[in-house]
Chains A and B, each alone.
Chain A
Amino acid sequence: DQQVKQNSPSLSVQEGRISILNCDYTNSMFDYFLWYKKYPAEGPTFLISISSIKDKNEDGRFTVFLNKSAKHLSLHIVPSQPGDSAVYFCAATLTGTASKLTFGTGTRLQVTL
């Protein structure tokens, strides 16, 4: 039972354009959502997060949008840069001392010149 889904395994975007990565979840109890970026041969790196009390969080070129009614979140990268090429994992959790991350399957983003 995949509670967090990223339906696009890969995405190719031109440098300077917007990259939009999507994530859907099924567990309505999730209240905290995160995006991690992973380069080959490295561990996932925390990128940006959003609490369920918000519908948008922005950090520089990265913005995460949350639509609770649709159980959908998205990561926008503007403008996209070649160094953004990586695998992006969406993750979700119910906050608390025993909470644990549930990851999506990942989307491989390639930013072309």
Chain B
Amino acid sequence: DTEVTQTPKHLVMGMTNKKSLKCEQHMGHRAMYWYKQKAKKPPELMFVYSYEKLSINESVPSRFSPECPNSSLLNLHLHALQPEDSALYLCASSQVPGLAPGNEQYFGPGTRLTVT
């Protein structure tokens, strides 16, 4: 099983809503990542979890709150978002933290978020 799953596939939310994105992998990977991708732009790293602990936060606004309840699951809690936060949110995982030959990141299909 080399799959990273993300739910929901699409999400439309108002600026006052609270919602969560979910990411799951069953590959035994111990590093998980959240990326944001705007249209016609490359993915941008938001957060990295290493062994279920937050290791990198790329100065992401507090209206995005990540959570890693266990080694297979990664959530992204959303609250009071702005229309400019509309984007594709990608989750990824790798066997261990860091990047090196043989430790590539596997991506999920993403959640397309629209903030109205």
Contact = CB atoms under 8 A, between A and B. Distances in A.
Nearest to B6: A43
B106 to A, nearest CB: 7
Interface string B68-90: 00000000000000000000001
Interface stretch (B13-21, B59-67, B91-99): B91-99
B101 A101 contact: no
Contacts of A97: 50, 96-98
A101 B107 CA distance: 13
A43 B56 contact: no
A42 B108 CA distance: 7
A103 B42 contact: yes
Contact of B42 (A49, A51, A100, A105): A105
Interface stretch (A13-21, A58-66, A76-84, A88-96): A88-96
Interface residues of A, number: 25
A95 B110 contact: no
Interface residues of B, number: 28
A37 to B, nearest CB: 11
Interface of A: 4, 32, 34, 36, 41-46, 49, 51, 89, 93, 95-101, 103-106
B32 interface: no
B22 to A, nearest CB: 14
Interface of B: 4, 6, 40-45, 48, 50, 55-56, 90-92, 96-101, 104-110
Given A43-B110, A49-B101, A99-B100, 9 more contacts: A32-B99, A32-B100, A43-B6, A43-B109, A44-B90, A49-B104, A89-B42, A97-B50, A101-B43
Nearest to B50: A97
Contacts of B105: 46, 101
Nearest to A9: B40
A62 to B, nearest CB: 14
B98 A106 contact: no
B99 A100 contact: yes
